[in-house]
A and B are shown apart, each in its own frame.
Chain A
């Protein structure tokens, strides 16, 4: 049944080459932990992606209940955490996944660095990877404010104050993030928009570039 549907579409659009081109490749021995256990260091990139998928899915479910305004934000997180079925688990996955994704990405970066995999011709992929790193830190920073508890409020205040101390552009950054003079209603909606739309959009674009480049260039050879 499924195969028939696939064939019906394939006859008309010739979709097989589209995905086989990306999906079909050989996994060399030196990155396969089944052959060399030490090759597990090559798994961190894939695990980063896996946790990122968890973050995206759990985040999507959190927005079903989360309300980004200063009166209801805390109440909605509290409700989500204690009243909604499995809410504690979904929020826990998003909360702890944020840390886990940083850890995995950090390990992946170190692997790439110490195996010298960023060298020619893969310079651009390293730069894109670092941009992904910065986007992830931005996601961590903006997401921290959303529960609107004291920890969130004061961490954001300190963070934006540090950004504001940069000369010339500092006050503009602070204005942009605060949406006013204080951490308030505007700040929360801005952080929500940045956390849920702007940065994930940039992240997905960067991830696509990252994966296309690795497929085009292939994984770096054995040392």
Chain B
């Protein structure tokens, strides 16, 4: 103590302040006086900690780069089929509230009663477990309660996740962020711009519907591509001029593509040419 005091003085102050020195606080032992290999926090131990931190950071970044953060479709309050799902660390509570005697008429027990006791117990653990013993195997009550709660939380989380997977399968649903990622991947493969779920589907009309080539379109194309060319069995032809050139369209009509049959035998080269010219005009904003 820098400010040693004479024992015959009645009131002792802290430093040069007017705060009276209290008797209670006991300075914890300094580890330099312990036997063993203690080391200085700065800089020795801190540098090692930073190295561990760097390894953790690199691992974390690899994870983040490999796995993009999920994003579903924009919130739609009218969507009745969506299965609500909280983040994984709330699942134990979410599942717990599905059981009888903690839900419906007993909801008070489920929301306040049991979680209140458990979280309250955890919060006040040092005032409930007041013994001097620190080793967990010598504190059977505290340790077994904790292990039991842990097992219960793990169990509830697994059951909840399992139930969610089951519901998805039953409803034939895929989590929206997977659907969205798949759509984006397909669009990318086709060289189309990434679909934007916020943009309403364009209600664009057919451009130049009076063109004489419409008779061919009506007889040959609309069966699969729908009467307004917005797509049915085949993809939409509205906007086809945005991403296919005249040559590519000629090629597609002549030789077919995927499920589309070839028209090189049904239509003359001239007719295909007219079709292609007309289709390249079908552009959209």
Q: How far in angstroms is the closest Cβ of chain B from A143?
A: 9
Chain A CB within 10 Å, residue with most, of B52, B88, B194: B52
Cβ-defined contact, A29 with B36, below 8 A: yes
Given A43-B52, A182-B77: A116 and B84 within 8 A (CB)? no
Q: How far in angstroms is the closest Cβ of chain A from B79?
A: 6
Rounded to whole angstroms, the CA-CA distance of A77 and B112 in the bound complex is 35
Rounded to whole angstroms, the CA-CA distance of A209 and B67 in the bound complex is 36
Rounded to whole angstroms, the CA-CA distance of A150 and B179 in the bound complex is 13
Contacts of B85 in A (CB 8 A): 151, 154-155
Asked if A34 is an interface residue, CB under 8 A from chain B, the answer is yes
Asked if A183 is an interface residue, CB under 8 A from chain B, the answer is yes
Cβ-defined contact, A218 with B198, below 8 A: no
Cβ-defined contact, A30 with B36, below 8 A: yes
Rounded to whole angstroms, the CA-CA distance of A95 and B37 in the bound complex is 40
Residue of A35, A114, A131 touching B136 (CB-CB under 8 A): A114
Asked if B139 is an interface residue, CB under 8 A from chain A, the answer is yes
Given A35-B37, A100-B60: A149 and B176 within 8 A (CB)? yes
Residue of B34, B77, B133, B177 touching A151 (CB-CB under 8 A): B177
Rounded to whole angstroms, the CA-CA distance of A34 and B46 in the bound complex is 13
Cβ-defined contact, B75 with A137, below 8 A: no
Cβ-defined contact, B69 with A118, below 8 A: no
Q: How far in angstroms is the closest Cβ of chain B from A49?
A: 10
Residue of B90, B133, B134, B177 touching A220 (CB-CB under 8 A): B134
Cβ-defined contact, A113 with B125, below 8 A: yes
Cβ-defined contact, A25 with B41, below 8 A: yes
Contacts of B108 in A (CB 8 A): 165-167
Contacts of A69 in B (CB 8 A): none
User: Among B23-31, B220-228, B250-258, which stretch is in contact with chain A?
Assistant: B23-31
Q: How far in angstroms is the closest Cβ of chain A from B65?
A: 6
Cβ-defined contact, A96 with B68, below 8 A: no
Contacts of B166 in A (CB 8 A): none
Per-residue contact bits, chain A 64-108, to B (CB 8 Å; 1 contact, 0 not): 000000100011011001100000110111111111101000000
Cβ-defined contact, A223 with B135, below 8 A: yes
Chain A CB within 10 Å, residue with most, of B32, B72, B142, B198: B72
Asked if A13 is an interface residue, CB under 8 A from chain B, the answer is no
Given A118-B125, A151-B176: A99 and B89 within 8 A (CB)? yes
Contacts of B11 in A (CB 8 A): none
Cβ-defined contact, A29 with B97, below 8 A: no
Contacts of A189 in B (CB 8 A): none
Q: How far in angstroms is the closest Cβ of chain B from A48?
A: 11
Rounded to whole angstroms, the CA-CA distance of A100 and B57 in the bound complex is 12
Per-residue contact bits, chain A 119-136, to B (CB 8 Å; 1 contact, 0 not): 111110011001100100
Q: How far in angstroms is the closest Cβ of chain B from A16?
A: 12
For window 66-92 of B, CB contacts with A under 8 Å fall at 67-77, 79, 82-90
Cβ-defined contact, B38 with A89, below 8 A: no
User: Among A1-9, A156-164, A191-199, A200-208, which stretch is in contact with chain B?
Assistant: A156-164
Contacts of B125 in A (CB 8 A): 113, 118, 126
Contacts of A120 in B (CB 8 A): 126, 130
Cβ-defined contact, A141 with B90, below 8 A: yes
Asked if A32 is an interface residue, CB under 8 A from chain B, the answer is yes
Asked if B123 is an interface residue, CB under 8 A from chain A, the answer is yes
